[in-house]
Amino acid sequence: MTILFLASCAQLHHVQIGEIDNHPKFVQKPFDIKLSEVGVDIQEAGRITKALAGKDSNNEAKKIADIIALFQMGPRTGHPVYTKGYAKNLIQLIYEKCPSGRVTGLASIRETRKYPVVSGEIVKLTGYCLLPKGG
Amino acid sequence: MKKLFISTLILTLFLSSCASVNSVSLTPIPAERGNKVFTTASKTIFLGFNFDNDFIDQSVEDLKRQCPNGKISGVLTKDENINYFLYFVWKKQITVTGYCQKYAAETTTGKK
């Protein structure tokens, strides 16, 4: 039971690979950045509440889930998160990892780690920082 | 005849697949497009049980190997799902293509 609750399923939403510069005058130092925010599956929470609560509470739970769902319309990947700007500092984080700004082979991955009711909404970046040889 | 029909039907059902594109991205395309590089990475998922997406990580390394001392531009990344029999089994496939432009010999030797 514990394994069932703790095991996560990884769902891939988007992959993008950027230009790759193999310039012989530079060495490539790999880096990776991972940003994550908790997503909530309101529908699943509603279903669990329905299963656990009595009949009267069933309808209330469904109504609440439906009302919240009305405010979460539109295209999206994964489940809604309640911190909208969790990935906005990505560029700043890249500069921290690679102060020269010479970045290559940047792969950006958007994925979801699904657990019961909650999920990890992840943005992952891997890339290489170009450093001058002997510098 | 009936047996053959049923066998063909079952075989078709098992072997046919549906492909759908999840996302596509493209970086600026270079003028010189002579040397094309290509890599693909995939993972077969059974009943939706997938615990990581690490299969993508090798793609960049793969491309780098194909273009030593060069620059890969016009990188097209295609992320697609291929669903087999009744969605019990599906394949996540990442296909990356690009154009390799070698640096001039002077640059590689450090001469001006």
Q: Kindly report, residue by residue over A17-39, the tens digit of the pLDDT.
A: 999 999 989 999 999 999 999 98
Shared domain check, A62 and A33:
no
pLDDT at B110 over 50: no
**pLDDT one-digit tens code per residue, A38-48:** 988 877 877 77
pTM for the whole thing?
0.79
- Which band of pLDDT confidence, cut at 50, 70 and 90, is reported for residue A53? confident
Per-residue pLDDT, A6:
52
Shared domain check, A131 and A84:
yes
Residues of chain B contacting residue A125, judged by C-beta atoms under 8 Å apart: none
For helices A42-52 and A55-70, what crossing angle results, to 10°? Answer: 170
A15 touches chain B (CB under 8 A): yes
Q: Which of B77, B80, B99, B111 to mutate to test the interface with A (most CBs of A within 10 A)?
A: B77
A16 touches chain B (CB under 8 A): yes
Q: Which CA distances in Å does A16 have to A78, A89, B77, B94, B97?
A: 17, 18, 6, 10, 12
Per-residue pLDDT, A8:
67
User: What is the SS3 assignment for A121?
Assistant: strand
**pLDDT one-digit tens code per residue, B22-75:** 999 999 999 989 899 999 999 998 888 888 888 998 999 999 999 999 999 999
Residues of chain B contacting residue A107, judged by C-beta atoms under 8 Å apart: 56-57, 59-60
Shared domain check, A72 and A87:
no
Residues of chain A contacting residue B60, judged by C-beta atoms under 8 Å apart: 17, 20, 105, 107, 126
Residues of chain B contacting residue A25, judged by C-beta atoms under 8 Å apart: 107, 110
User: In angstroms, what separates the C-alpha of A56 from chain B's closest C-alpha?
Assistant: 34
Q: Looking at the 3D structure of chain A, how many domains does it have? A: 2
Of A84 and B66, more confident: B66
Q: What is the mean pLDDT of chain B?
A: 86
B 82-101 near A (Cβ less than 8 A): 92, 94, 96, 98
Burial A98-130 (b: 16+ CB within 10 A, else e): beeeebbbbbbbbbbbbbebebbbbbbbbbbbb
B104 burial (CB, 10 Å; 0-12 / 13-18 / 19+) is: exposed
Shared domain check, A30 and A88:
yes
Contact B50 A10 (CB under 8 A): yes
Which residue range forms the structural domain that includes residue A62?
42-77
Shared domain check, A29 and A64:
no
Nearest to B53 among A22, A25, A109 (CB): A109
B48 touches chain A (CB under 8 A): yes
In this structure, which amino acid lies at residue A66? Answer: D
